[in-house]
């Protein structure tokens, strides 16, 4: 879909119209990528994420979306960038996604690098960023920390006080903290989904923040007309 606020909320079957497609792991990542594309004035790029009527979705179904794009060939699509979580093992996460790429899209050689051939290009961005374990929520918490460090300290105090999340895994703790941050900073909708924190009414974070510059640079390179190979 094109990154328009109204369209982000609208339901319609995904049909690529632009030469570049970003496949996000989920709807929350889609919100961030759309916000960055808009901030960067990038218009030649569509964004989607795997959906399933029943059964699983997310990372496991990213390969399905790539297959669907290949099945539509010939089409306008010339490049695919996957944005997904690094989780506990970034190398493993990259290898799993790499195997899902198939011709005519080149297999990426490493994450955060746009692999370019004469006609097609591919890439993988692992959140929160290069050399880091974690997920989208960790990246968003970095932005939260930049915007309001005291809030995160308070949330950490809450965590210790409630004593219920001390055994939780890192990704779950990050989700909990982000939910607390949104609930205490988003007056328009304290329950709002991380996908919608970028809307004009909510606007929790600045997409121009240096926290997002790594992803912004990869997006810029992904859609650039420079034709250069293997540069990030």
Partner 1 sequence: MIESLSITNFRCFKHIEVAGLKRINLVVGENSSGKSAFLESLFVSSGSLAPQSVFQIRGIRKMGGQIVLPLDAQGYRGLWEDIFFNFQSDKPVSIKIIGTNSDGRSLKIQFVEASGTAELPFEKQLPTNISNRVEQSFGMPQIEFTWKRVNHSPIVAKPRLTSTGMQIDAQVDFFPCVWFTPGVSETTDENAKRFSELDKRGESKIVLTTLAKEFPFIKDLSIDYHAGSPMVFAQLDGKPRKMPIPLISDGVNRLMGICLGIANFTKGMVLIDQIEDGFHHKLLPSIWNSIYSLAKEFDVQLFISTHSAECLSAILPILKANVSDFALLRMIRQEESCEIKCLSGHYLETALEQDFEVR
* Residues near partner 1 (CB under 8 A): 11, 13-15, 50-55, 61, 64-65, 67-68, 71-72, 74
Nearer of residues 72 and 119 to partner 1, judged by Cβ = 72
Task: Name the nearest CA neighbour of 83 among 140, 129, 131, 141.
Answer: 129
Nearer of residues 33 and 143 to partner 1, judged by Cβ = 33
d(CA 147, CA 168): 25
Task: Name the nearest CA neighbour of 219 among 15, 5, 18, 8.
Answer: 18
d(CA 188, CA 88): 34
Nearer of residues 46 and 142 to partner 1, judged by Cβ = 46
CB count, 10 Å around CB of 185?
Answer: 16
State in angstroms the smallest separation of the CB of 198 from partner 1.
22
State in angstroms the smallest separation of the CB of 73 from partner 1.
8
Q: Look up residue 176 and give its two tokens.
A: 């909990």
Nearer of residues 53 and 161 to partner 1, judged by Cβ = 53
Nearer of residues 14 and 120 to partner 1, judged by Cβ = 14
State in angstroms the smallest separation of the CB of 152 from partner 1.
36
CB count, 10 Å around CB of 12?
Answer: 7
Q: Look up residue 216 and give its two tokens.
A: 């912004």
State in angstroms the smallest separation of the CB of 170 from partner 1.
29
State in angstroms the smallest separation of the CB of 97 from partner 1.
17
């Amino acid at each position: 879909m094109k990154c328009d606020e109204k369209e982000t909320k609208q339901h319609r079957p995904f049909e690529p119209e632009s030469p570049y497609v970003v496949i996000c792991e989920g709807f929350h990542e889609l919100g961030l990528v759309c916000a960055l594309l808009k901030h960067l004035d990038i218009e030649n790029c569509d964004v989607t994420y795997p959906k399933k009527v029943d059964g699983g979705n997310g990372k496991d179904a990213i390969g399905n979306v790539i297959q669907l794009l290949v099945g539509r060939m010939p089409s306008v699509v010339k490049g695919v960038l996957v944005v997904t979580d690094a989780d506990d093992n970034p190398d493993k996460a990259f290898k799993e996604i790499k195997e899902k790429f198939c011709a005519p899209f080149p297999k990426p050689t490493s994450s955060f690098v746009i692999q370019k051939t004469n006609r097609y290009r591919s890439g993988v961005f692992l959140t929160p960023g290069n050399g880091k374990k974690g997920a989208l929520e960790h990246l968003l918490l970095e932005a939260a920390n930049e915007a309001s460090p005291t809030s995160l300290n308070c949330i950490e105090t809450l965590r210790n006080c409630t004593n219920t999340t001390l055994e939780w895994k890192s990704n779950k703790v990050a989700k909990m903290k982000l939910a607390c941050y949104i609930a205490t900073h988003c007056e328009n909708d304290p329950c709002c989904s991380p996908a919608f924190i970028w809307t004009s009414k909510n606007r929790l974070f600045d997409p121009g923040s240096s926290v997002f510059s790594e992803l912004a640079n990869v997006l810029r390179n992904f859609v650039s007309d420079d034709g250069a190979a293997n540069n990030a």
